[in-house]
């Protein structure tokens, strides 16, 4: 617990200025969180979308990789955040969709595939402060030091002010019921497909990968083959 608090303090003290006075990144990764049960964007999604759009409007990000499967309900998180970004004026062609990740470490690993495919060299993480720290460490280590990563923790005051101004309508269609399964069942299926044990506790996995990243010891999760 003490170590977690120290990491949090470090992130707030040293990375809050991360997105300021730096050249624009090729793409900012926006990890997902669940949509509302009727397909509208959730408050969590809108916060991340609003902050990402601010980075676009201020010239800090040239594109985005939005990441997340339909994890806790039938709405694909990546599709929801793309819909929000487009509704706020970001060109659709500047938003790359990553709809396979079920967990935060998978958000990063699958996003790196997209970065490789499109030649996106400099990256940022757009999210809450704590998440940007560990995930940027994952980017640097898993790309073997070939990519820089800018933690871009959201400015809550700015985001709150923008949310208070009102938001456009944005919602997505659900995955067909026959094609969706609860998270634990999908984890089991993926483990069988990859020939691996079922995934362990995600909080411990995130913590250990983030903790080991500065020492170059973090390893990416096993991923499904490219589609």
- The confidence score (pLDDT) of residue 205 equals 83
Full pLDDT tens readout for the chain, 227 residues: 333 333 333 333 333 334 445 679 999 999 999 999 999 999 999 999 999 999 999 999 999 999 999 999 999 999 999 999 999 999 999 999 999 999 999 999 999 999 999 999 999 999 999 889 889 989 999 998 889 999 999 999 999 999 999 999 999 999 999 999 999 999 999 999 999 998 888 888 877 877 777 777 788 999 999 98
Phi, psi of 124 (to 5 degrees): -135, 160
Rounded Cα–Cα distance for residues 213 and 211 (Å): 6
Pairing between β-strand 95-98 and β-strand 123-127 as defined by DSSP bridges: unpaired
Tokens standing for 125? 């993480």
- The confidence score (pLDDT) of residue 118 equals 96
Phi, psi of 95 (to 5 degrees): -120, 110
Rounded Cα–Cα distance for residues 114 and 208 (Å): 24
Domains and CATH numbers, the chain: 24-166+180-215 (3.40.50.620)
Rounded Cα–Cα distance for residues 146 and 41 (Å): 34
Tokens standing for 91? 């060109």
What confidence tens digit (pLDDT) does each residue in 44-72 have? 999 999 999 999 999 999 999 999 999 99
- The confidence score (pLDDT) of residue 207 equals 76
Helices of type H across the chain: 2-14, 43-57, 77-87, 104-118, 129-142, 156-164, 183-194, 202-212
CB 26, CB 17: distance < 8 Å: no
CB 29, CB 67: distance < 8 Å: yes
- The confidence score (pLDDT) of residue 21 equals 56
Rounded Cα–Cα distance for residues 15 and 158 (Å): 17
- The confidence score (pLDDT) of residue 22 equals 64
- The confidence score (pLDDT) of residue 9 equals 34
Rounded Cα–Cα distance for residues 153 and 125 (Å): 8
- Burial class from Cβ neighbours inside 10 Å (0-12, 13-18, 19+) for residue 114 reads middle
SS3 18: coil
Tokens standing for 65? 């990789």
Packing angle of the helix pair 129-142, 2-14 (nearest 10 deg): 90
């Amino acid at each position: 617990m003490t170590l977690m608090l120290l990491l949090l303090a470090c992130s707030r003290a040293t990375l809050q200025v991360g997105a300021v006075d730096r050249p624009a990144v090729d793409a900012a990764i926006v990890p997902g969180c669940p949509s509302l049960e009727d397909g509208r964007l959730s408050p969590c999604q809108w916060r991340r979308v609003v902050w990402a759009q601010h980075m676009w409007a201020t010239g800090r990000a040239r594109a985005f990789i939005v990441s997340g499967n339909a994890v806790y309900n039938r709405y694909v998180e990546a599709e929801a955040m793309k819909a929000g970004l487009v509704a706020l004026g970001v060109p659709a062609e500047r938003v790359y969709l990553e709809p396979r990740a079920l967990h935060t470490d998978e958000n990063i690993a699958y996003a790196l595939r997209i970065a490789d495919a499109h030649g996106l060299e400099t990256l940022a993480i757009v999210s809450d402060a704590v998440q940007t720290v560990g995930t940027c460490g994952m980017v640097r280590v898993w790309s073997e030091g070939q990519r820089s990563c800018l933690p871009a923790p959201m400015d809550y005051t700015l985001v709150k002010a923008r949310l208070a101004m009102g938001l456009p309508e944005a919602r997505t269609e659900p995955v067909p019921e026959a094609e969706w399964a609860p998270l634990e069942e999908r984890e089991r299926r993926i483990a069988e497909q990859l020939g691996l044990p079922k995934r362990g506790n995600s909080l411990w996995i995130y913590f250990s990968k983030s903790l080991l990243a500065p020492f170059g010891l973090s390893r990416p999760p096993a991923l499904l083959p490219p589609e």
